């Protein structure tokens, strides 16, 4: 059995399901039993980490894990059960609009002043909170736009051409130093963070894992291509105003030029991407496949639903002066992280 010699370290388990998946990947144990999987809370640390472990095999894998585990049928069966729990909960819990137009229109309604993470960080965020935000977001931004690439073979004509054009920009337009994942790594360097892929998986909260798992879920299933397009549109359309505030936060906390540049770049780029996604990707897809409209709406709305859950988690911690991160070395037995002293800030240096 071949093992990837390099790659991120497997993270610590967060409960019985992630413990079993982790053991299976490292060749030291069996997959979780069906009733153990069925008992996992859909948004909890245990299920979200187990799902994340399964998905990461499609990106960079883990050090010491056989890359062929990616297509292990037994593991895929477990993944499907985890996905079913997650997707069922999302479909039940996400308030959805009646039409694509209504969902799109609502994206542009700004949250009440101070209610969003970018409002908080631009108004009163301190350097440690800006760093924590970068740590949480690093799980996505270090593979920015990668989950969306899976939709390309599933599109055609206008939608495909436009989606590829936006992805080309996300991947630097042919220039490696301008790949957005690289721009984010440069931001992390400014903030004295480790830019290694997967470095902060252990400390990312379940709400962060859920936002990234959503992208992988939608990207990996052709049946969810409409929702993937809706998700991508939600990200691009809300990015420009949010990025403006985050650029302010970087300036206000003297984060550094690369940190400012990442968000400045997104103010510019995503103002253009918004128009392309709206008028070419969504309209192009629905011209070809009008029956996917309700899936596009779901993708638009579920993105906001999970982003709001993450924002609530971050702001609840920060307003109390507490870290939003999980303690790095903790191997939790259940779904919740143990309480920790109020003053303790997780060491992310």
**Residues of this chain that bind Fe ion (CB under 5 A):** 170, 180, 236, 270, 273
Range 146-149 contact pairs with CB under 8 angstroms and sequence separation of 24 or more: 146/59, 146/181, 147/212, 147/215, 147/216, 147/218, 147/219, 148/215, 148/219, 148/228, 148/232, 149/219
- For the chain, the residue count is 349
The least distance separating Fe ion from the CB of residue 167, rounded to whole angstroms, comes to 9
State which residue, 236 or 307, has the beta carbon closest to Fe ion. 236
Contacts of 192 (CB under 8 A, 6+ apart): 131, 349
The least distance separating Fe ion from the CB of residue 231, rounded to whole angstroms, comes to 13
State which residue, 236 or 264, has the beta carbon closest to Fe ion. 236
Residue 267 near residue 183, CB atoms below 8 Å = no
**Both structure tokens of 190:** 């400014």
The least distance separating Fe ion from the CB of residue 96, rounded to whole angstroms, comes to 24
Axis crossing angle, helix 73-93 with helix 206-220, rounded to the nearest 10: 110
The least distance separating Fe ion from the CB of residue 166, rounded to whole angstroms, comes to 6
Quickly count: other Cβ atoms within 10 Å of residue 181's Cβ: 20
The least distance separating Fe ion from the CB of residue 103, rounded to whole angstroms, comes to 19
State which residue, 118 or 323, has the beta carbon closest to Fe ion. 118
Q: Which residue is nearest to Fe ion (CB)?
A: 180
The least distance separating Fe ion from the CB of residue 280, rounded to whole angstroms, comes to 14
Contacts of 308 (CB under 8 A, 6+ apart): none
Q: Strands (DSSP E) along 23-169, which ranges?
A: none
State which residue, 69 or 273, has the beta carbon closest to Fe ion. 273
Quickly count: other Cβ atoms within 10 Å of residue 263's Cβ: 24
Contacts of 236 (CB under 8 A, 6+ apart): 166, 270, 273, 274, 277
State which residue, 57 or 255, has the beta carbon closest to Fe ion. 255
Residue 225 near residue 152, CB atoms below 8 Å = no
Could you tell me the end-to-end alpha-carbon distance of the chain, in angstroms, rounded to an integer?
36
State which residue, 131 or 141, has the beta carbon closest to Fe ion. 141
The least distance separating Fe ion from the CB of residue 133, rounded to whole angstroms, comes to 16
State which residue, 43 or 140, has the beta carbon closest to Fe ion. 140
The least distance separating Fe ion from the CB of residue 275, rounded to whole angstroms, comes to 11
The least distance separating Fe ion from the CB of residue 24, rounded to whole angstroms, comes to 34
Q: What does the alpha-carbon distance between residue 120 and residue 126 come to, in Å, rounded to a whole number? A: 10
State which residue, 52 or 263, has the beta carbon closest to Fe ion. 263
State which residue, 46 or 170, has the beta carbon closest to Fe ion. 170
CA Rg value for the chain = 19
Residue 206 near residue 18, CB atoms below 8 Å = no
């Amino acid at each position: 059995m071949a093992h990837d010699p390099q790659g991120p370290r497997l993270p610590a388990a967060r409960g019985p399901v992630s413990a079993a998946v982790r053991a299976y990947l490292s060749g030291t144990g069996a997959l979780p039993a069906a009733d153990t999987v069925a008992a996992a809370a859909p948004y909890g640390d245990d299920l979200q980490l187990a799902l994340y472990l399964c998905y990461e095999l499609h990106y960079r894998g883990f050090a010491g894990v056989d890359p062929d585990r990616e297509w292990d049928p037994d593991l895929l069966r477990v993944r499907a059960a985890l996905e079913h729990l997650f997707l069922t909960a999302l479909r039940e819990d996400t308030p959805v609009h009646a039409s694509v137009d209504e969902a799109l229109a609502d994206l542009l309604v700004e949250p009440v002043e101070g209610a969003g993470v970018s409002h908080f960080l631009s108004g009163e965020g301190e350097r440690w909170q800006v760093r924590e935000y970068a740590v949480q977001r690093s799980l996505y931004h270090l593979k920015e736009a990668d989950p969306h690439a899976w939709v390309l073979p599933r599109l055609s004509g206008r939608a495909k051409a436009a989606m590829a054009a936006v992805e080309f920009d996300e991947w630097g337009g042919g220039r490696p130093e301008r790949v957005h994942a690289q721009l984010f790594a440069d931001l992390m360097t400014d903030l004295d963070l480790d830019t290694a892929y997967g470095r902060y998986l252990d400390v990312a909260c379940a709400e962060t894992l859920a936002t990234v798992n959503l992208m992988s879920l939608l990207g990996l299933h052709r049946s969810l291509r409409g929702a993937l397009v809706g998700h991508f549109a939600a990200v691009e359309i809300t990015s420009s105003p949010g990025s403006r505030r985050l650029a302010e936060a970087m300036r206000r906390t003297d984060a550094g030029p690369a940190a400012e540049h990442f968000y400045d770049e997104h103010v510019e780029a995503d103002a253009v991407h918004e128009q392309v996604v709206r008028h070419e990707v969504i309209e192009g897809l629905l011209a070809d496949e009008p029956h996917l409209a309700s899936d596009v709406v779901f993708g638009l709305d579920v993105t906001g639903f999970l982003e709001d859950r993450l924002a609530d988690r971050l702001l609840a911690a920060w307003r109390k002066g507490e870290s939003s991160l999980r303690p790095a070395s903790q191997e939790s037995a259940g779904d919740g992280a143990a309480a920790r002293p109020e003053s303790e800030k997780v060491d992310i240096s």
